Chains A and B, each alone.
Chain A
Amino acid sequence: MEYRNVLTTCVYCGTGCGLYLEVLDGQVVGVLPAKTHPVSEGKLCIKGWNAHAFIHHQDRLTKPLIRGNGRLIEAGWDEALDLVAERLTAIKEKDGPDAIGVLSSAKATNEENYLLQKFTRAVLGTNNIDHCARL
């Protein structure tokens, strides 16, 4: 039997409110505000209070899926990445780099987003990168 709180930052917007994820026996079960946090001062908006909801959600993707015969079939990482590299290269050669667009997420870390835009601009050769919060 184990219950503890782990301090983290809310993934949803740019404010960066501090919150605690309540962990009961290894599962994240809820959220508590961080009362001494200099940014959030113990308050959270509705997204912050539900920031834990997606972690153990049944609809969350856990394996790569490849579409075949109109259905999504589970695949391995190597198979999926090989397919992506092959197809992106083919599209870049045939229609040019600007035929490709990249969509990122505010839930990803700054480092992951930096990597993605570097990949888009330096490797794919296009400026077409944006993120979900701009939709």
Chain B
Amino acid sequence: MYEPRIIGYLCTYCSYPGADLAGISRIKYPPNIDIIRVLCSGRVSPELILRTFREGADGVLVGGCHFGDCHFINGNHRTAKRIPILKKILEYAGIEPQRLRLEWISASEGERFAEVVEEFTETIRGLPPIREVLG
């Protein structure tokens, strides 16, 4: 039974505490996701995302703060522009753009985090394993 592997890059000040809240509140979400905490979602670069796919991640979730809440003022603005254009590039390369997802999750949105992970895991489960795509 194919269990997709998902990597989540969550920012320190909003989405990681959000995920933490989901854990503390005992809200269940699929175990397929492995979370890596980064200082800001703006730190997540295209080369990092591509290397993550190459290492075997079937899906990559990037979690950042809502606009106006970023601890670094406009780090999330960079992410907001970078991820959509990277998704388009993946589309042109023939790699499914649904494998990369950007979500704004605040520190109090524990339930929402669980929902997003649930949804995303199902999306990725419907796609072929990344090894079959990248070779």
Touching chains A and B, CB distance < 8 Å: no
